[in-house]
Amino acid sequence: MAYQYELHLIFSTSLDDEKVKWTDEKIGQLRLYVLKKTLASIKDGRTSLHIRTEAIEWLMDDSIQPFSYFTCCIEAGLNPQILRDLIVGSIKR
């Protein structure tokens, strides 16, 4: 439920009132949100094994899709390979 609230903050337009206008800025905000939440789920020990596994698979996927790991990193101005190496290193510890 908290995720829904956070998404509402990103998209201040009420879905009931009108259609969301997908601007480049809003798509960028959503990519950053996906990146932050997915990386947080990897770090959070309370996250289920299933969710953590999916998050790690997303992290390790090299595909270029609208919301892939690489695309979300590039949108955030981050080097995907360096960030991946840091995360994998912290998981191994």
61-86 pLDDT per residue, tens: 999 999 999 999 999 999 999 999 99
pLDDT at residue 88 tops 90: yes
26-40 pLDDT per residue, tens: 999 999 999 999 999
57-65: long-range contacts, CB 8 A cutoff, minimum separation 24: 59/84, 59/87, 59/88, 60/84
Question: What is the per-residue pLDDT for 70?
Answer: 97
The residue extents of the domains of the chain are: 2-11+21-92
pTM: 0.77
